[in-house]
Amino acid sequence: MKADPKKRNASPAITWEAILTSLEDGVIVIDPRGKISFINQAAESLVASSAARALQEPYTRLFRKNLWLLSMIENSQPPCLNSTRGESDFVNLWGRSAPVSASVSPLQDQYGRSLGTILLLRDLTRRREMEEDLKRSDRLAMLGTLAAGLAHEIKNPLGGIKGAAQLLRRALVRDPSLVEYAEIMIREVDRVNLLIEQLLDLSQPARLNLTPLNIHELLDQVLLLERETTQEKRIEVRKRFDPSLPPVYGDRLQLTQVFLNLIKNAFQAMNDQGCLTITTRMETDFHIREEGKDPGKFIWVDIQDDGIGIKEEDLPHIFAPFFTTKNAGTGLGLAICYRIIKEHGGLIRVESREGEGATFRVSLRVTS
């Protein structure tokens, strides 16, 4: 029997359920008794509850940590029947919080009878990250202009001070206590010079020498550079490398600098002992691609420590130049990492809670 050509080419029927399930925004319907009667996939992951568990639950339980949302929903029910929109932090059932925009409307049939409430929730995390990225780039550009001007003005007098201190050291060679003072002057001038170099580095676009790199080899070399610290401090290093990863496109020196800064920070956060875990994987979060850039595959590297962690109020500032909580820190380490990774077309993010360690994730483009 011949197949009906019309049937063969016919596309599968589009159902409302398929449409709602495929939406990136969360959709939740609450029936007139206040129970959840529909929840799509995006909403399931936002509230951290499967449909099987959420359906027929009272909405007051599902949203119990979000008083702002509860009052929006109350407002949409009879007798008020108001539609409202708002933006706030949504706390899911596990206590994790994410910025969301919410739209709550009364659901009515064609005769105006109330069928409950419909809720749209949009996760704003990625958008907030992009806004932060933009602000950071602007701040760096401003700092760049300032640094270039300042560096020029400061380097000349510094050269003079260093030359004079060197002459002084030679003239005082018979008096060791005074020689020491001259040496302190020279050392401190070198420190300021280094700081200026770092600032200039931060402000000028780097000339990247991109080559295919084996990320595991590079990480091993960085660990070798820091081997003394791991032994002195009794730090255990765990490597969870995915051996199937393809090479990444990167500048060897600059990426070495990034991972060195991150690993140094991790060691400093762990004081005398702890565990550093370095994990590599293929990136599956495809939002990572910057808009307008050609699509590509990415890998990520997690540098995770179990040190002191980062205070919530410090988290928005740690990539800013000169932000430091250390006595002897310059606060340029992470700002430099940020700039280098940005120039590689990658991304650097952090997750941390005070007292619970920190994880820095670097995403980099692979060669194919």
Ligand X SMILES: Nc1ncnc2c1ncn2[C@@H]1O[C@H](COP(=O)(O)OP(=O)(O)OP(=O)(O)O)[C@@H](O)[C@H]1O
Residues that bind ligand X (CB under 6 A): 261, 265-266, 269, 305, 307-310, 314, 318, 323-326, 329-335, 358
Count, residues near Mg ion per rule CB under 5 A:
2
257 contacts Mg ion (rule: CB under 5 A): no
355 binds, among ligand X, Mg ion, none (CB under 5 to 8 A by kind): none
- Smallest distance, ligand X to C-beta of residue 228, A: 17
Which CB, 29 or 308, lies closer to ligand X? 308
3-state secondary structure of 143: helix
d(CA 8, CA 361): 47
If 0-12 CB within 10 Å is exposed, 13-18 middle and 19+ buried, where does residue 236 land? Answer: exposed
76 binds Mg ion (CB under 5 A): no
Answer yes or no: are the C-beta atoms of 248 and 367 closer than 8 Å.
yes
Give the Å distances, CA to CA, from 169 to 158, 162, 166, 177, 185: 16, 10, 5, 11, 10
Encoded amino acid at 34, one letter? G
Strands 114-123 and 97-108: antiparallel
Q: Which residue, 333 or 345, has its beta carbon nearer to Mg ion?
A: 333
| Interface residue with Mg ion, options 76, 254, 265, 363 (CB under 5 A) | 265
Q: Are 299 and 364 in contact (CB under 8 A)?
A: yes
Which one of residues 116, 333, 345, 346 is an interface residue with Mg ion (CB under 5 A)?
333
Identity of the residue, 25 or 133, whose beta carbon is nearer to ligand X in the bound complex: 133
What is the Cα–Cα distance from 358 to 354, expressed in whole angstroms?
8
The end-to-end CA distance of the chain, in Å, is: 47
Closer Cβ to ligand X, 47 or 269, answer by number: 269
Residues 84-123, mask of contacts with Mg ion (x by CB under 5 A) = ----------------------------------------
Q: Report, in Å, the least distance between residue 309 CB and Mg ion.
A: 15
User: Which partner from the list ligand X, Mg ion, none does 26 bind, CB cut-off 5 to 8 Å by kind?
Assistant: none
Q: Which does 250 bind (CB under 5 to 8 A by kind): Mg ion, ligand X, none?
A: none
Q: Map tokens 């709550």 to a residue.
A: 104
Q: Interface residues with Mg ion (CB under 5 A)?
A: 265, 333
